[in-house]
A = this chain, B = another copy of it.
């Protein structure tokens, strides 16, 4: 499996006895990407056997405590574990000053480098490209600067169709050329097209994370067609007005974004502590977008497209 998402927390600002604040771990071919880092994230990582050493990139959607309070202790833990590998943090720009002051306050000298990548921009923006994945940020609509993240698996090369090699008596030189994506023009004028003799690779996996946001229609264009969309659903229908006021969404609004964006599946989270169980939120969303699930602590989701 190429993309595997593990949910560490599904609470909104107020944790409950069984819901932790927001943190997700995306496993892309055994590279782990940590997305948001609420209080207790490192405890949840231990509980669900997340390998600390495989995380080199942390994404923080915004600087509200329930998405961020676990970062200080996690940085401190990495230091105690003797980490040497640089750690990349993608977050609103003011995080740098906050982290530096904090390290100074606590007289912590990190044995590894922190590399801060400040988030900005009014649309979808590439912020990281490695061998396997491209990561984009995009703006959300919340009370402070807040960004969503989109992880898209890099498209693999097309594969040669074996039977076509015999059919066209392809030479090694021709195969090499085709593998570079070039069509072949033979001396007799015959054209052998790259698309005809190769097979498309599987659809790349993609995952979008929308932590805290009020409803705005344009969001669906930012996450169009993703395999799995995580979208906050702090409230149910009955608190629609409150959601608008505090820059959050109802489950139905999350589903509306999912439907309009034509995503594969929708995952809800960031549930208000007033809901003992997220079932009613799940039901309200399914009325608009049936392929919806409420996220639960410790559950993993395979993302196949």
A residues apposed to B, CB below 8 Å: 13-17, 20, 39-40, 42-43, 46-47, 63-66, 69-70, 72-73, 76-77, 80-81, 94, 98, 101, 105-108, 144
A105 with B63, Cβ < 8 A, contacts A40-B39, A40-B43, A43-B39 known: yes
CA distance A66 to B70 in the complex (A): 12
Residues in B with CB closer than 8 Å to A94 are 105
One complex includes copies of this chain to the number of: 2
Min C-beta distance of A58 to chain B, whole Å: 16
Are B72's CB and A43's CB within 8 A?
no
Min C-beta distance of A78 to chain B, whole Å: 10
Are A80's CB and B13's CB within 8 A?
yes
Are B20's CB and A43's CB within 8 A?
yes
Having A39-B43, A69-B73, one finds 8 other A-B pairs with CB under 8 Å, namely A16-B46, A17-B43, A39-B40, A39-B73, A65-B73, A69-B72, A94-B105, A98-B105
Are A106's CB and B65's CB within 8 A?
yes
CA distance A106 to B144 in the complex (A): 10
Residues in B with CB closer than 8 Å to A73 are 39, 65-66, 69
Are B14's CB and A77's CB within 8 A?
yes
Residues in B with CB closer than 8 Å to A107 are 144
Are B72's CB and A14's CB within 8 A?
no
Residues in B with CB closer than 8 Å to A65 are 72-73, 76, 106, 108
Residues in B with CB closer than 8 Å to A81 are 14
Are B13's CB and A76's CB within 8 A?
yes
Shortest Cβ distance from A95 into B: residue: B105
6 inter-chain pairs at a CB distance below 8 angstroms, sorted by A residue, are A17-B46, A39-B40, A39-B43, A63-B106, A65-B108, A66-B73
Residues in B with CB closer than 8 Å to A80 are 13-14
Min C-beta distance of A146 to chain B, whole Å: 13
Residues in B with CB closer than 8 Å to A98 are 105
Min C-beta distance of A269 to chain B, whole Å: 17
Residues in B with CB closer than 8 Å to A46 are 15-17
CA distance A79 to B106 in the complex (A): 25
Residues in B with CB closer than 8 Å to A63 are 105-106
Residues in B with CB closer than 8 Å to A70 are 39
CA distance A192 to B117 in the complex (A): 82
Residues in B with CB closer than 8 Å to A105 are 63, 94, 98
Min C-beta distance of A152 to chain B, whole Å: 32
CA distance A42 to B13 in the complex (A): 12
Shortest Cβ distance from A105 into B: residue: B98
CA distance A17 to B40 in the complex (A): 11
Which residue of A13, A39, A66 has the most chain B CB atoms within 10 A of its CB atom? A39
CA distance A14 to B20 in the complex (A): 19
Min C-beta distance of A80 to chain B, whole Å: 5
Residues in B with CB closer than 8 Å to A39 are 39-40, 42-43, 69-70, 73
Min C-beta distance of A145 to chain B, whole Å: 11
